[in-house]
């Protein structure tokens, strides 16, 4: 163990001695690298950072919230992971990106020459590097924008957050319109069926069939009373009426059942139509903006001190490795 430590110390001391022997060229290279890194950092355009923090709302149907009295979902609740993902996808969508690019003329703002090859590819790459949208561990969404102009950075971040609701409303409205068209067609179809069944039932009403169950109950009661009173003529008349009622009763019961089924169906369709209309007309918020972006007064990029330190140390380390390598290489070359 002691031998290993001594060997390590010996190797370390050898390196220190080697650095001391080559201090002049190493120092010159390090100073030159430091000067170059300082000049390079000064040439980099500084960027300012603006941030928006928002939460997705809980998924709540406008139709159910506004129409159903016993609907328990609170449209003011914060959304969970399932609600965050769709909002995140909307914020990252090409639709929002294209609107931001058009509004701020980012092609010119980023100084991209449209005559060069693939200008839009470069534009989208610049946008992706300057606009970051991420979900945090607390299920919030953070929009971070970097730009040379602090006011533009803040404005872009706020606009991205503000565009989420209109785009989601547009998608829901499109879906609601399709649903309303389908429901309206179904309502008209069922309404025609209800009218036809009502007309059919009226023909049976004219034949004396009004309500089969109640009528047969009353006939049975009158028939029993006639038998108790020894009223044979009355009993025969009631038998005739029961027989006549029976001849039309099966079809009446069938059409009466269809009529009630279609009434229930049209009521459900009308309720669904009202829900779809509420979705179309209402604009419930899909995001809650916690913190809006403000124009920064201190640049976030580049960190000049970090650039200078890392560049200078890297140049020193690389030059040291190259010196050792070439000296060993030359020694072996001579010995061979």
Q: Which two structure tokens, joined as six digits, stand for 142?
A: 């953070």
Distances in Å between the alpha carbon of 29 and those of 104, 134, 247, 315, 316? 44, 42, 114, 7, 7
| pLDDT the model gives residue 96 | 95
Could you tell me which residue, 5 or 111, shows the higher pLDDT? 111
Rounded CA separation 218/207 (Å): 17
Q: How do the domains of the chain map onto residue ranges? A: 1-44+302-336, 176-281
pTM to 2 decimal places: 0.65
- Closest of 224, 250, 238, 284 to residue 83, by C-alpha: 284
Q: What angle do CA 11, 317, 16 make, to 5 degrees?
A: 30
| pLDDT the model gives residue 250 | 64
pLDDT at 264 over 80: yes
Mean pLDDT of 102-131: 92
Instruction: Report, in this order, helix, strand and coil percent for the chain, each rounded to 5.
Output: 70, 10, 20
pLDDT at 90 over 90: yes
| pLDDT the model gives residue 267 | 92
Residues, the chain, total?
A: 336
Any idea what DSSP says for residue 286? S
- Average pLDDT, rounded, for the chain: 78
> What percent of the chain lies above the pLDDT cut of 90?
29
> What percent of the chain lies above the pLDDT cut of 70?
71
pLDDT tens by residue, 135-183: 998 889 999 999 989 999 999 999 999 999 999 988 888 888 999 999 9
Give the lowest-confidence range in 54-68, 157-171, 178-192, 301-315.
Answer: 54-68
CB 102 within 8 A of CB 110: no
CB 55 within 8 A of CB 164: no
pLDDT tens by residue, 218-254: 555 555 555 566 666 655 665 665 555 555 566 777 7
Q: What angle do CA 247, 249, 255 make, to 5 degrees?
A: 130
| pLDDT the model gives residue 65 | 54
| pLDDT the model gives residue 310 | 81
User: Looking at the chain, which runs of residues are DSSP E strands?
Assistant: 48-56, 131-135, 140-147, 287-291
- Torsion angle of C-alpha atoms 8, 9, 12, 18, degrees rounded to 10: -120
Contacts 24+ apart (CB under 8 A), 66-69: 66/278, 66/282, 67/271, 67/274, 67/275, 67/278
Mean pLDDT of 89-118: 92
Rounded CA separation 180/176 (Å): 6
Mean pLDDT of 44-72: 70
């Amino acid at each position: 163990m002691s031998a290993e430590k001594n060997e390590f110390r010996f190797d370390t001391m050898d390196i220190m001695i080697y650095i001391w022997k080559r201090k002049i060229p190493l120092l010159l290279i390090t100073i030159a690298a430091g000067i170059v890194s300082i000049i390079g950092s000064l040439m980099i355009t500084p960027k300012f950072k603006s941030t928006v923090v928002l939460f997705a709302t809980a998924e709540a149907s406008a139709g159910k919230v506004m129409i159903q009295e016993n609907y328990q979902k609170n449209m003011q609740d914060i959304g969970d992971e399932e609600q965050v993902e769709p909002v995140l996808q909307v914020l990252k969508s090409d639709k929002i990106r294209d609107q931001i690019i058009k509004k701020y003329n980012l092609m010119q703002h980023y100084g991209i020459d449209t005559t060069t090859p693939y200008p839009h590819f470069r534009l989208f790459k610049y946008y992706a590097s300057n606009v970051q949208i991420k979900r945090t561990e607390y299920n919030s969404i953070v929009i971070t924008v970097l730009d040379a102009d602090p006011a533009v950075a803040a404005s872009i971040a706020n606009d991205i957050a503000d565009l989420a609701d209109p785009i989601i409303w547009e998608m829901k409205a499109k879906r609601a319109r399709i649903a309303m068209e389908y429901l309206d067609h179904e309502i008209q179809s069922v309404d025609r069926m209800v009218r036809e069944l009502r007309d059919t039932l009226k023909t049976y009403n004219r034949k004396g069939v009004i309500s089969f169950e109640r009528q047969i109950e009353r006939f049975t009661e009158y028939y029993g009373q006639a038998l108790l009173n020894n009223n044979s003529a009355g009993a025969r008349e009631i038998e005739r009426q029961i027989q006549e009622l029976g001849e039309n009763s099966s079809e009446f019961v069938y059409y009466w059942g269809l009529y009630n089924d279609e009434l229930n169906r049209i009521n459900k369709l009308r309720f669904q139509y009202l829900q779809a209309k509420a979705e179309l007309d209402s604009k419930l918020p899909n995001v809650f903006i916690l913190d809006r972006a403000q124009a920064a007064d201190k640049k976030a990029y580049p960190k000049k001190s970090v650039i200078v330190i890392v560049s200078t140390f890297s140049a020193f380390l690389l030059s040291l490795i190259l010196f050792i390598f070439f000296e060993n290489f030359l020694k072996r070359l001579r010995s061979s």
